[in-house]
A and B are shown apart, each in its own frame.
Chain A
Amino acid sequence: MARPRSRPLSPHLTIWRWGPHMLVSILHRATGVGLALGGATLFTWWLAAAAGGPASYARFLDLMTRDQPIGPDGLPLPGTAMLNPLPALILIGLTWAFFQHMANGIRHLVMDLGAAYELKTNKTTSLATIAFSIIATLLLWAWIFTR
């Protein structure tokens, strides 16, 4: 199409500067899908394993955890099972995803009321969801690992 090159084209779809609101927007989508596919599958698997009885639940726990110190009777000390690295990574990721999705979900509900669209407020609330999700995840897992 013949068009004077010098004329600015606006609004343009490919020129924008990254900001926290975009990050939070795409994270809401990514965490929602991650929770729906990964979280719901793990949750259902866990329940079905428990419903299948002690043996099936033991197989589930065996995949997720490894036994720690051996007691004097040659058996692992009860209550000392540790999460395997991969399940730990997945669970930490899912808790972070939940906290991020939850915080931004609440932000969405506030914006549905028509509030927090001002550029500065919008940026602040975006950053707040990220700060919240990281801090909440760290606190929760620090508590789990140290208790």
Chain B
Amino acid sequence: MGTGTGIGRVRGLGSAKSGAHHWWMQRVTAAGNLLLVVWFVLSIVRLPSLDYRTVTLWLSSPFVAVPLVLLVINTFYHFRLGLQVVLEDYQKESSKVAGLIAINFFTIGAGALAIFSILKIAFAGAR
């Protein structure tokens, strides 16, 4: 953001028009991760057991299901951006497109599965 013409600096866009936004979202989701992942780790280790009943009962509370869905969105977005940076640092142009598609498939596929699973358990209620 610190280089380029005056108007370029004001707009905060790099040559690809999305670098500054990417960088900023990496920081915003980092702050979100700090709250959500710490909450998740502490909650999990404090559950009395990880058997089926305890876990589904825990997940069926809205105050668990909602933050957990937010965690999936935030964390998956964060590592989606991060994996792209790593790929761009090492990959040759020719294989970059395939790599980016693989990252998107993995992030969106796993993210959708995780969110669907949380909601299914939450809506079914504890059994």
Collect the chain A residues with CB atoms within 8 Å of residue B121's CB. Answer: 47, 50-51
List the B side residues contacting A32 at CB < 8 Å: 79, 82, 86
Q: How many A-B residue pairs have CB under 8 A?
A: 71
| Interface presence of A119 (CB below 8 A) | no
Secondary structure call for the A interface = helix
Our pick among B34, B45, B76, B110 for the contact of A102 (Cβ within 8 Å) is: B34
Give the B-binding residues of A (Cβ under 8 A). Answer: 29, 32-33, 35-37, 40-41, 43-44, 47-48, 50-51, 54, 57-58, 61, 79, 95, 98, 102, 105-106, 108-109, 112, 140, 143-144
**Pairs of residues from A and B, 4 with the lowest C-beta to C-beta distance, nearest first:** A51-B117, A36-B79, A47-B117, A44-B114
From DSSP, what is the main secondary structure of chain B's interface residues? helix
Q: How far is A67 from B113 in the complex, measured between Cα atoms in Å?
A: 29
Q: Which of B79, B113, B116 contacts A35 (CB 8 A)?
A: B79
Provide a sorted-by-A list of 23 A–B residue pairs whose CB atoms are within 8 angstroms. Answer: A32-B79, A33-B83, A33-B86, A36-B82, A40-B75, A40-B76, A41-B110, A43-B114, A44-B117, A47-B113, A48-B113, A50-B52, A50-B59, A50-B121, A51-B117, A51-B118, A58-B52, A61-B52, A95-B41, A98-B37, A105-B33, A106-B34, A144-B45
Instruction: Verify B50–A61 contact, CB threshold 8 A.
Output: yes
**Given that A36-B79, A47-B114 are known contacts, is A57 also in contact with B55, CB under 8 Å in the complex?**
yes
Chain A CB within 8 A of B56 CB: yes
